[in-house]
Amino acid sequence: MGIGPRQKDNGGPSRFTLLAGAEGVTTIPAVPHIALPADLPGITSAFAFRPETAKPLRELAETLLRGPNTLTSAERETIAAFVSSRNDCHFCQASHSAAAAHHMDGSYELVEAVKRDVASAPLTPKLRSLLTIAGRVQEGGKQVTTADVDAARAAGATDVEIHDTVLIAAAFCMFNRYVDGLATLTPTDPAVYDQMGQRMARDGYVRR
């Protein structure tokens, strides 16, 4: 994998770099736009900068991804990673892919297959239909169709599962833009994300 500087359209230096890896080329923030804590990566630095907003955002993530639900935490983390991948948010897609994997005995096979191609990934019909809805939300809320919802119901999804899929997708569009909109520090070492995902799967998102 190689990292090199990217130039802005106006010829000035970018605050992002390009990361070339197995999944293609993605943009990686290099210098935060504001004075975030230098020792914290990604969203954790933004949370530390503004703890008043961090608390409800952490609670939202905890409820969506770990709260009582007929969708497993692995399934919900997979939805989060899928949406984040489509939004080209490396920090969120890598960390939530790792969390999904650690809810599945450390195996990345399924979540990586989903990010590559939902249509061919080895999924249940219900989860595939919910990921289709999540992908529509990532494109824009009005892209979700009655046919998408009917297909999810036909595959066994409840209205609560459809609701929560839409909310996870919408929330992660916000989280992704929060992380990249501030150009937060984004590690490139997969081992960093694996450790992060292990902690997220084990301990969750709320500070206790």
Beta carbons within 8 Å of 12's beta carbon, 6+ residues apart: none
Question: DSSP letters along 145-187, please?
Answer: -HHHHHHHHHTT--HHHHHHHHHHHHHHHHHHHHHHHTT----
Q: Tens digit of pLDDT per residue, the chain (208 long)? A: 232 233 333 444 445 554 544 455 555 656 899 999 999 999 999 999 999 999 999 999 999 999 999 999 999 999 999 999 999 999 999 999 999 999 999 999 999 999 999 999 999 999 999 999 999 999 999 999 999 999 999 999 999 999 999 999 999 999 999 999 999 999 999 999 999 999 999 999 998 7
Closest by CA to 98, choosing from 122, 116, 132, 74, is 74
Q: What domains are defined for the chain?
A: 36-203 (1.20.1290.10)
pTM of the model: 0.87
Residues 128/121, Cβ–Cβ less than 8 Å: yes
Residues 168/83, Cβ–Cβ less than 8 Å: yes
What is the H or E stretch that residue 20 is in? Answer: strand 13-21
Residues 23/117, Cβ–Cβ less than 8 Å: no
